[in-house]
Structure 1
Amino acid sequence: MESRVIARSQPCADERSRIVEAATAACRQYGPSKTNVADVSRLLGKSPASVYKVFPSKAAILDAAAASLFENRFCFTSSADCGQASATVRLKEIMLEQHRLVLQARDNDAQMFSLMALAAQGNWPSFKQHLKRLEAAVAELILAGIVAEEFAPAKIEVAASCFCASVSVLWDPIIVEVLPSSRCEASASELVSFAIAAIQRFRARKVEDPGKVA
């Protein structure tokens, strides 16, 4: 029974992958706003009806193409793969890498960057999942930093969400799309360092009673 289920589901997964690849190619050729199901089916050599059997709408196809882009191009390095680097260093590196990848997409792959911006503007499931993965990676590093006493104790999920929001100018395609490249590049490292300082562990200085007279 299990083998028959796998046999039936595998062709559907393969077909879905081919449609996503064709949609990506169509987006690069025509732009995401002008791409339609007919363009995708033509690249596949099939009818639009066969595409609709797998995806219910153009929006679903574009969302799947955006999801593939986010998952494959904007992946996150596991903390286990970073050697002995501190959580502070790893956190800074991961955000600067996301910034670099977003700028690279904007400058070298304009049509797919437009698809990313559409996904962000529409809060598509693909963008929600991308943000969820980003916040999960940041949360993992914040937890490691708290354990190592680099960061102050905090609610991990809240701290990760706030941290990502504070540096959204670096990774959110909506903002990056309209912000001058030189401004982003000049301030990226300083901005991440400033955001990290907000979660770093520090010893509060003892404040003397202002009513005391020396």
Structure 2
Amino acid sequence: MKIKNRQSPIVATNDMRRRRMARSIAERRDGPEQPMMTAHTIEETRADTRTRILDTADRLFRHYGYSKTTMADIARELEMSPANVYRFFSSKSELVQAICDRMLTDRDRRNAAILAEPGTATERLKRLLVQNHHMTVEALIVETKVHEIVLVAMEEQWSIIQAHISRFTDTIEALVHEGIAAGEFKADDPRKAARCVHQSYVSMIHPQVVASCMQNAERVPPEDLADFILRAIKA
């Protein structure tokens, strides 16, 4: 009778140990096996890194100021190399432009919320104007370092600023249209009326003008100026 060769339990155990040890050495050398990165995953990772850089830069700018914060400071806070930060933003100016874009997008969102609220066109237009004044004051007083960022944005005349102004005027125009339809406003050209409303109220929302007039005892309350403008388009 032919007897089959069988591996002894000791030899089998040693083989298992050797295989486990080989895997352990490979993991220490190469790291644990990683899931395959798809194009979607890579894009998500880049977006997450970009957001982390923006969040960190925003926090440092608000704490130390724009001029006193360098790209190296931002990289150090993130525990990454400055070169990696520059992979996402070619300059500090580009970085602060992205931060301003986020700030203005948030303001656009809050303006759109007023447009969707209940109430007459008159009530909502006044609310829109006064709220934008308060948002500007909040940025200048509560977040004093933000003023420096805003000044940079205004001096550079970035397209994002002009795009925001256009969207703000669009929101005013939508309310003027509603007011005309409801018999609240009289205006032959709603777009022209919207521009007039915006430019008449600009002293209450332009950061540099608001900052220079904060201590002026003759300053008109934002609500009073809004009422004055509204009476003009009701005539």
TM-score normalised over the length of structure 1: 0.82
1:119 counterpart letter in structure 2: A
The 3-state SS of whatever aligns with 2:225 is helix
Equivalent of residue 76 in structure 1, options 111, 135, 144:
111
- Quickly say closer, same or farther: Cα 1:95–1:156, change in 2 above 3 A: same
C-alpha contact (below 8 Å) 1:79/1:141 kept by paired residues: no
Counterpart among 116, 139, 149 of residue 183 in structure 2: 149
The counterpart of 2:70, out of the listed 36, 44, 56, is 36
- Of the structure 1 ranges 145-154 and 178-187, higher mean CA displacement relative to structure 2 is found in 178-187
Instruction: Say which SS state the counterpart of residue 88 (structure 2) adopts.
Output: coil
Indicate the residue corresponding to 2:48 in structure 1: 14
The Cα shift of 1:14 comes to 1.5
Q: 1:145-184, aligned counterparts within 5 Å?
A: 145-181=179-215, 183=217
Specify which of 119, 122, 127 is matched with residue 156 of structure 2: 122
The answer on whether the counterparts of 1:105 and 1:113 sit within 8 Å (CA) in structure 2 is yes
Which residue is 1:209 aligned to? Answer: none
2:231 paired residue number? 197
| 1:87 and 1:142 in contact (8 A); partners too | yes
The RMSD of aligned alpha carbons is: 2.3
Structure-2 separation of matches of 1:158 and 1:16: 40
Report if aligned partners of 2:187, 2:193 keep a CA contact under 8 Å in 1.
no
The 1:194–1:151 alpha-carbon spacing in structure 2 relative to 1, beyond 3 Å, is: same
Q: 1:78 is aligned with what amino acid? A: A
Q: How many residues align?
A: 198
Which of structures 1 and 2 has the bigger CA Rg? 2
User: Residues 138-167 of structure 1: CA distance to partner in whole angstroms, max 9, x if unpaired?
Assistant: 111111111112112333333222211110
Q: Deviations over 1:59-101 (max 9, x none)?
A: 1101111122222356214356422x11011100111011112
User: Is the CA contact (8 Å cut-off) linking 1:37 and 1:58 kept in structure 2?
Assistant: yes
Query: Gaps (5+ residues) in structure 2?
Result: 1-37
AA at the equivalent of 2:111: F
> Which residue pairs with 2:15 in the alignment?
none
Q: Within 2, Cα distance between the matches of 1:154 and 1:37?
A: 51
Residue ranges of structure 1 left out of the alignment (5+ in a row): 203-214
Counterpart of 1:211 in structure 2 is none
Q: Secondary structure at 1:34's aligned position in 2? A: coil
CA separation of 1:24 and 1:6: change in aligned 2, threshold 3 A: same
Please tell me the residue identity of whatever aligns with 1:37. Answer: M
Give the secondary-structure state (helix, strand or coil) at the position aligned to 2:164.
helix
CA distance 1:44–1:73, shift in 2 (3 Å): farther
After TM superposition, the structure 1 stretch with the greater mean CA deviation from structure 2, 73-82 or 173-182, is 73-82
TM normalised by structure 2 equals 0.75
Pick from 136, 140, 144 the counterpart of residue 174 of structure 2. Answer: 140
Would you say the 8 A contact 2:177–2:190 is kept in 1?
yes
The alpha carbon displacement at 1:175 in A equals: 0.8
Residues 121, 174 of structure 1: 8 Å contact kept: no
